[in-house]
Amino acid sequence: MATRTLVFFILLLSFLAPAANAYDIQNEDIWIFQGAYQLEIGGRAELEGFTVKLHDIKDDGSSATILIYRNRVFKEAFLIDDDANNVQTYEKELKVTASEVNATSVSMEIHKQQTERVWITSTKKTAVKEGKQIEDGEYIVKLKELTEEGALISVEGNGNSIEDTYKMAEYEKIPDEFMMNIVYINKNTEEVFIETLRPGEPGMSVFVKTDKEEYYPNEKIEYQFSLSNTGTVPLHGLILSTSTSEGSVEDTVLQHPSLDPTKVKKFVVDIVPPSSPVAKNITIRSEIKGYDYKANEYSNSSILELPIKPYISIEKDVEMLKKSAIDTEFGTDEYFLVSLTVKNMAGSQTALTITDELNDSFIPDNMEKLEWGILMEPASEKTITYHVKPTVPGNFTFGTATAQWNYKGDTYRVSTGLDNEVYQVHGLKATVEKSIVSNYLYPGDRTEVIVKVTNTGDRQIEVSLSDEISPELELVSGGTSWRGNIAPGRSEEITYVIQAQKIGDFYLPEAHIEFTDEDDKRGTSDSGTPVIYVDNALPVVEYEEYIDAEEYHYEDEGIIEENDAEMTELTRSGAVWFLTYSFVCILLLIAIVPTGAYLYINRKIQ
Amino acid sequence: MVLFALINISSRLAMLILFFIPLFATLILPGTSTGFLAYQHFLLANGLVPVNNFHILLMVWSTLIGIILYTEFLTWYLAKGKKNSGDVKIDLADIHSTLRAAIAVMKDKIAKRN
């Protein structure tokens, strides 16, 4: 058991050792560039674990005093200038290099001594035999010979040519360019496992968003700028600069010491939107700068368009309420309470004219027109409420309310959003329509009159219809009055036949209905007055004048109708004859010219 | 169909097809055909002149009758011109002898191949 445990740990260590070794060679203990800063007196550069503060500058601007804080605890003060003492180092950990010192500010670059992953695997561990090579870009690694001392390997490329004998876990480094590492030498198979590494690079990917899609002028914009390091080595000295086309940015510059690969840093910037009488878009621009360990600069930027609403806003709220039992006005059961909430988000007083629209079937309570003039204090809110009575039952929607004001000589207006909510008003309602089947008659002709009663309310009603006939017309059949029940949404048609007596235009009198519901609520309605034309029957009169009156009267009406039908209707043979006739006519017409030409040419030849 | 008959078969057949299609339609389905021909498309001259399918049928007839008649006339005229010129004379005996000689050559070749 003990032997097995020992073997297990030896194996475990043997597996872990190359991994640890591989990890070590990827890192370098170097001065890592942390960022370039321009500090004014009192200004700070915040780094990971350190803070550099510019304490003061000599009056002549020749030198300055900087203070070093570690974890916000003061550690040391340095005198720095841009000449001989331009580099100051704290505890071999922090290096401040002044590039310019003037009377108001000091420009400096800050480096920090730390171990950082710099080398990134380029070619994975590959088995190479004698005489074989691996290629990594412009570099060629060739295994020349495998001896007892190790592997004789040549590294060539980019103007470099190195040949040496390497043992296991040894490596060859060409600074800032290329590294070759012997991972393992297998003497049994005479194979050398080689990997190549290259210096890594950071990458920047940005994403911006705001907590809302649009803002009122009194709302602070929470602008989020997310930076993700898509590269293979960390980014240092990140500086985010934000600006906006209108409004103001609270933190125009934000700093962050470093960002490891695959990590995301989220910057939150507060922006105050502009106050405008009209809706407008503002543009937020951001630029992020950062550096890799060699002080190479990387940057990225973003642009975001954001809509800002005008500083006056109006909202409309409609509430449907039940009428009291004694209120039977218009036969409807409900009424509406409309609230208009107006906000002034400007920094000054504003005089507003508020108007609202109503459906034609609605009547405002105790008001002649829906218009109000109000004076709004800065950053204030007012609510206007009024009642609306529907005059008929049915389904209704409400229109938009508008606030209008003047600003610097121009007129501006905002409206409420379109409310598509449908409100159903219950109540007692019925309509009556009167129509005529044929409204053009000759004396003696008959036609049908249709009176249609429709229950457009939402409850059963008992209807009583009364209609009249003009004295110029005569009732032939049917009745002009009716009484009965009609269910909601249903109709009843009452028809009767009238006969024209005299020539002229006659308006039929309006039909009248009275209806009551189960609660004994009453209502009335009237129809329109359709017109009927009774014309002089001229052809008949002329016919009568020409023939003997007695002969005419012998003819039965049925025979006359038959004769008429024969005269007007196109029969099969008639249609065929007509088509044949048309075809022959066209043929003859068209054939005139070629026939003439044929005869002429033939005669000429003969 | 009418133009196909005109080009490939004969102008007389094309004329008969042109005439008999609407005629048979009227004989077989008089109600439908009359209704179709009476269908009004639009009114011209401020509503005074109605344009029905019947008018369109007349127009189609006119066009196609014109095409058929003039094709027949022009064909007659051109053929007449050729006959009168008399420049081209084809001797059938010559053609037969040439064909016989060619067949003999082909037979000889086939016999040699075998």
Cα-Cα end-to-end distance for chain B: 52
Q: Alpha-carbon dihedral of residues A46, A48, A51, A52, nearest 10 degrees?
A: -80
A513-533 burial, b for 16+ CB within 10 Å, e for fewer? Answer: bbbebeeebebebebeebebe
Whether B73 and A598 lie within 8 Å, measured CB to CB:
yes
Indicate whether A18 pLDDT > 90: no
Tokens 């032939």 belong to A476
Read off the pLDDT of residues A171-183 as tens digits, 9 standing for 90 and up: 888 888 888 888 8
**pLDDT given for residue A552 in this prediction:** 46
Mean of pLDDT values over A209-234: 88
Is A241 buried (19+), middle (13-18) or exposed (0-12) by CB count in 10 A?
A: middle
**CATH number among 2.60.40.180, 2.60.40.10, 2.60.98.40, 3.40.50.300, domain A27-117:** 2.60.98.40
CB A307: neighbour CB atoms within 10 A? 13
Indicate whether A453 pLDDT > 60: yes
In which band, very low, low, confident or very high, does the pLDDT at A5 lie, cut at 50, 70 and 90?
A: very low
Whether B34 and A591 lie within 8 Å, measured CB to CB:
no
**pLDDT given for residue A561 in this prediction:** 46
A439-456 burial, b for 16+ CB within 10 Å, e for fewer? Answer: bebeeeeebebebbbbbb
Domain A27-117 and domain A430-534, same fold? Reply is no
| Cα Rg, chain B, nearest whole Å | 27
Among A76-85, A569-578, A583-592, the range of highest mean pLDDT: A583-592
Q: Where are the beta strands (DSSP E) in A82-217?
A: 87-90, 94-101, 105-117, 119-128, 133-136, 139-146, 151-157, 160-166, 171-174, 178-186, 191-199, 204-210
In which band, very low, low, confident or very high, does the pLDDT at B20 lie, cut at 50, 70 and 90?
A: very high
Average the pLDDT over each of A12-21, A70-79, A247-256 and give the range with the smallest value.
A12-21
Read off the pLDDT of residues A386-445 as tens digits, 9 standing for 90 and up: 988 888 787 888 888 999 988 888 888 888 887 788 888 888 888 899 888 887 888 888
Q: How far apart are CA B103 and CA B88, in angstroms?
A: 26
In which band, very low, low, confident or very high, does the pLDDT at B92 lie, cut at 50, 70 and 90?
A: low
Tokens 């004769």 belong to A563
- Dihedral of alpha carbons A550, A554, A556, A561, sign: negative
Chain B residues with CB inside 8 Å of A594's CB? 69-70, 72-73
Q: How far apart are CA A75 and CA A80, in angstroms?
A: 16
**pLDDT given for residue A588 in this prediction:** 94
Read off the pLDDT of residues B99-109 as tens digits, 9 standing for 90 and up: 888 888 888 88
The model's pTM is 0.51
Instruction: Return the closest-CA partner of residue A583 out of B68, B89, B59.
Output: B59
In which band, very low, low, confident or very high, does the pLDDT at B89 lie, cut at 50, 70 and 90?
A: low
Instruction: Return the closest-CA partner of residue A531 out of A438, A426, A421.
Output: A438
Read off the pLDDT of residues A545-571 as tens digits, 9 standing for 90 and up: 445 544 444 444 444 444 444 445 667
Read off the pLDDT of residues A245-300 as tens digits, 9 standing for 90 and up: 988 898 888 888 788 888 999 999 999 888 888 888 899 999 998 888 877 889 99
Indicate the average pLDDT of chain A: 83
**pLDDT given for residue A560 in this prediction:** 45
- Dihedral of alpha carbons A248, A253, A254, A258, sign: positive
Query: Sheet of A380-390: strands edge to edge?
Result: A312-322, A334-344, A380-390, A362-364
Instruction: Return the closest-CA partner of residue A454 out of A425, A427, A479, A488.
Output: A488
> Which contiguous run of DSSP H or E holds residue A48?
none
Judge whether B62 and A590 are in contact, CB under 8 Å: yes
CB B89: neighbour CB atoms within 10 A? 5
Average the pLDDT over each of A126-130, A325-329, A449-453, A568-572 and give the range with the smallest value.
A568-572
Interface of A with B (CB under 8 A): 570-572, 575-576, 579-580, 582-583, 586-587, 590-591, 594, 597-598, 601, 605
Angle between helices B30-38 and B11-28 (to 10 degrees): 110
What residue spans define the domains of chain B? 2-87
In which band, very low, low, confident or very high, does the pLDDT at A3 lie, cut at 50, 70 and 90?
A: very low
Chain A residues with CB inside 8 Å of B65's CB? 586-587, 590
Of B22, B62, B77, nearest to A601 by CB-CB distance is: B77
Hey, is A356 helix, strand or coil? coil
**pLDDT given for residue A537 in this prediction:** 61
Mean of pLDDT values over B56-78: 91
Mean of pLDDT values over A68-80: 88
**pLDDT given for residue A286 in this prediction:** 92
Indicate the average pLDDT of chain B: 84
CATH superfamily of A312-425: Immunoglobulins (2.60.40.10)
**CATH number among 1.50.10.150, 3.30.1490.20, 2.60.40.10, 3.40.50.300, domain A204-308:** 2.60.40.10
Of A570, A580, A605, nearest to B23 by CB-CB distance is: A580
CATH superfamily of A430-534: Immunoglobulins (2.60.40.10)
Is A141 buried (19+), middle (13-18) or exposed (0-12) by CB count in 10 A?
A: buried
Whether A576 and B80 lie within 8 Å, measured CB to CB:
no
Token pair in block for residue A210: 């705001």
Mean of pLDDT values over A154-183: 86
Indicate whether B88 pLDDT > 90: no
What residue spans define the domains of chain A? 27-117, 119-199, 204-308, 312-425, 430-534
Chain B residues with CB inside 8 Å of A571's CB? 30
Read off the pLDDT of residues A489-536 as tens digits, 9 standing for 90 and up: 889 888 999 888 888 888 888 899 988 888 777 788 888 888 888 877
Indicate whether A9 pLDDT > 80: no
Mean of pLDDT values over A39-48: 87
Q: Chain A contact for B30, CB < 8 A?
A: yes
Q: Where are the beta strands (DSSP E) in A409-568?
A: 410-415, 423-425, 430-436, 440-441, 446-455, 461-466, 473-478, 481-486, 491-500, 504-507, 512-517, 522-526, 531-534
Q: How far apart are CA A529 and CA A486, in angstroms?
A: 23
Judge whether A507 and A531 are in contact, CB under 8 Å: yes
> Which contiguous run of DSSP H or E holds residue A241?
strand A235-244
